[in-house]
Structure 1
Amino acid sequence: MIKAYAAFEPKGELKPFEYDPGELKPMEVEIDVHYCGICHSDLSVIDSEWGESTYPVVAGHEVVGKISQVGSHVRYLKVGQIVGLGWHAGYCNKCSLCHAGDNNLCANAQATIVGHYGGFADKVRAASNSVVPIPDGIDLESAGPLFCGGSTVFNPLLQFDIKPTDKVAVIGIGGLGHMALKFLNAWGCEVTAFTSTGSKKKEALSLGAHHTLNSRDKNEIKSAAGRFDYILSTVNVKLDWNLYLSTLSPRGRLHFVGATLDPLDIGVFSLISAQRSVSGSPVGSPATVAKMLDFANLHQIKPEIEKFKFTDINKAIERLRSGEARYRVVLCR
């Protein structure tokens, strides 16, 4: 039996829950969960904000742990190996995207916490090709958030060939944004943070930003007209996107990794006149996650975390809901 913490209704308190996972499949591994980050996506699934949740929900998709079992057909992972598991716990392995290594874009990928029990538990199971070994040198306590938030902000650096000479701005200096600042700084970019408060300005500079702009001052934003090659939005709220588009240089890109639920109100003329683009991307593929871990290890990049015991999981969730966490919440066994 696997012992977990589950939500039984939207916004409900998590309670102890046990389930029998059955026989381990040939291409699966079972992981003893040592650490698990709590992401806003966990809250969205717990609260059924996306309409995909079935209860009981066992969330948790920023897992770090040790392999305790491997399926009979697993060859490249072994018992005792330290690994991580992110948003996906499996893929179809049949489509052209899976064959090309773009498993994260597979239309039939298995989410770790939707229709599957996740890492708010003592163990979790997943397809072996969704699990990524963690290299020596990575701080394991803080590694969990790299498998979701870290992967999400690192993925565009590869997908859109961001160059060290590019001027890049980040909207939202929170769980995603603070890692984006660290990665972009180490990548070599000139980094600007859009911040809403004076205290966040100082923090943004300490996290890797070279400049800041007050996101509540329209005139200050207008003063940056045509400045950025790339803007990364990590927020889940509606903003004046046309104002932000005006700060892009010709051929600049406004890219979304924050899941705002409101439709984008964008004037097409701003795109056409300067050949600007608007795009979005999910978490990275397992191959991208592995590259991200190597890059983080090389530059000693790790998320800023607050630690809670698994037994204090409801306190940890409330801390994340408060919006005061700096910057990721991690459960520790």
Structure 2
Amino acid sequence: MPTIPVYAAPSAKAPLERTTVERRAIGESDVLIDIHFAGICHSDIHQARDGWGEGIYPMVPGHEIAGTVAATGPGVTRFAVGDRVGVGCLVDSCRECDNCRAGLEQHCSGGAVPTYNGRHKDGEPTYGGYAKQIVVDENYTLRIPDALPLDVAAPLLCAGITTYSPLRHWNAGPGKKVAVVGMGGLGHMAVRIAHALGAEVTVLSQTLGKREDGLRLGATHYHATSDPATFEELRDRFDLIVSTVSAPLDFDRYLSLLRTDGALVNVGAPEEPVSLNLFSLLMGRKTLAGSNIGGIRETQEMLDFCAEHGIGSEIELIEAHQINDAYERVLRSDVRYRFVIDTATL
């Protein structure tokens, strides 16, 4: 069992620190991946600080992983040493339930195994991508197309699929008006992908501070939600609203922006409960929904789509010793738009 350098949270809310963990030995269908880049997702912060419930410590966050294959198990057929690969938010599932068979491993009835802050089927904890290497079953490993640089591809393994999946499922495309709530790590990817799908895109952000970026990335319109006139001007406007924010919304106000049969889909996950007046759904036959990443097949589809359309994440590359500072900056919305760790600095 190899010992690997990592950055880990030793306990809830403690700063991350450099340490080591043991990776499992390479099994029959496993690939050993040299990690080159790992994105920092807001969910890393939620979990490292027990925001979504009790964590497993020491915790090695990171589920936006890009690198190359260093070795393969004897039964591996999909990958060879040197291949460019990625790992997203899950590394195993039951493989037998209806959802797994349908390519919806993220909704596995037996419980998908998360890339970190979870447990493998043998009970051992999972450790994520703030690390030099990771061992993953080939069936949960993604191929990163040559057209995508590994550093800007890393955030696609969470931010990309988290926004691609609902946009596809709710049929964003030509003739559809799509609003994206929030212009951050998830939001900027939603803008790029919705635009590439052919939808007319509007950004709804607290202020107009990122307006130039939003328009550059594909939005046609950009509005400040801090201005009450926005909700009057845009009433009954959108077919689909994708909320990427991790804070509670005034859902009644946002639902008023939907056309009849429109959907408001949440991919951000606030730590606090939310409230809703059900008349906001009844009037207009509207839908309030959620979406959680995507399955392995859809994640590969997303990577291929992004390569075809030249879509990568807008990143700020950092060294490992800057991780704790990056966490604080994420909480202040002080990043455009995804921190990515250069794991060579571990």
**Shorter-normalised TM range:** over 0.9
Matched, 1:61 2:63: yes
Amino acid at match of 2:39: G
Take 2:102 and 2:205, find their aligned partners in 1: how far apart are those partners? Answer: 38
Take 1:318 and 1:214, find their aligned partners in 2: how far apart are those partners? Answer: 24
Q: Which deviates further from its counterpart, 17-26 or 161-170? A: 17-26
- CA RMSD of superposed structures (Å): 1.4
Amino acid at match of 2:252: N
Matched, 1:27 2:37: no
The count of residues paired between Structure 1 and Structure 2 equals: 333
- Equivalent residue number for residue 44 of structure 1: 46
Take 1:168 and 1:312, find their aligned partners in 2: how far apart are those partners? Answer: 36
Q: Which deviates further from its counterpart, 145-154 or 74-83? A: 74-83
- Equivalent residue number for residue 19 of structure 2: 17
* Mapping 1:185-264, distance limit 5 Å: 185-264=195-274
How big is the shift at 1:187?
A: 1.0
Deviation by residue 1:180-234 (Cα, 9 ceiling, x = unmatched): 1111111111111112223222222122110122201222212211110000000
Matched, 1:95 2:105: no
Amino acid at match of 1:79: V
- Equivalent residue number for residue 319 of structure 1: 329
Take 1:12 and 1:180, find their aligned partners in 2: how far apart are those partners? Answer: 32
Take 2:292 and 2:266, find their aligned partners in 1: how far apart are those partners? Answer: 9
CA contact (8 A) 1:222 1:243 kept: no
Q: Give the counterpart of 2:116 among 104, 113, 117.
A: 113
Deviation by residue 1:13-70 (Cα, 9 ceiling, x = unmatched): 2222222224222222211110010111111111111114111001111100111122
How big is the shift at 1:160?
A: 2.1
Amino acid at match of 1:218: P
Take 1:63 and 1:198, find their aligned partners in 2: how far apart are those partners? Answer: 32
- Equivalent residue number for residue 167 of structure 2: 157
How big is the shift at 1:6?
A: 1.0
- Equivalent residue number for residue 175 of structure 1: 185
Q: Secondary structure at the match of 1:176?
A: helix
Take 1:24 and 1:213, find their aligned partners in 2: how far apart are those partners? Answer: 51
Take 1:230 and 1:141, find their aligned partners in 2: how far apart are those partners? Answer: 30
- TM-score, with length taken from structure 1: 0.96
- Equivalent residue number for residue 293 of structure 2: 283
Mark the runs of 5 or more structure 2 residues left unpaired by the alignment. Answer: 119-125
Deviation by residue 1:272-319 (Cα, 9 ceiling, x = unmatched): 221111111111111111111111111111111000123433333333
CA contact (8 A) 2:207 2:223 kept: no
Mark the runs of 5 or more structure 1 residues left unpaired by the alignment. Answer: none
Q: Which deviates further from its counterpart, 172-181 or 199-208? A: 199-208
- Equivalent residue number for residue 315 of structure 2: 305
CA contact (8 A) 2:52 2:271 kept: no
- TM-score, with length taken from structure 2: 0.92
How big is the shift at 1:173?
A: 0.6
CA contact (8 A) 1:171 1:232 kept: yes
> Cα–Cα, structure 1 residues 314 and 261, in superposed 2: closer, same or farther, change >3 Å?
closer
Take 1:106 and 1:165, find their aligned partners in 2: how far apart are those partners? Answer: 34
- Equivalent residue number for residue 126 of structure 1: 136
How big is the shift at 1:263?
A: 2.9
Take 1:102 and 1:300, find their aligned partners in 2: how far apart are those partners? Answer: 26
Take 1:78 and 1:242, find their aligned partners in 2: how far apart are those partners? Answer: 51
CA contact (8 A) 1:52 1:114 kept: no
Q: Secondary structure at the match of 1:212?
A: strand
How big is the shift at 1:320?
A: 2.6
Take 1:70 and 1:91, find their aligned partners in 2: how far apart are those partners? Answer: 20
CA contact (8 A) 2:40 2:338 kept: yes
Take 1:45 and 1:277, find their aligned partners in 2: how far apart are those partners? Answer: 29
> Cα–Cα, structure 1 residues 319 and 220, in superposed 2: closer, same or farther, change >3 Å?
closer
Matched, 1:292 2:294: no
CA contact (8 A) 2:51 2:271 kept: no
Take 2:106 and 2:73, find their aligned partners in 1: how far apart are those partners? Answer: 22
- Equivalent residue number for residue 121 of structure 2: none
Amino acid at match of 1:48: D
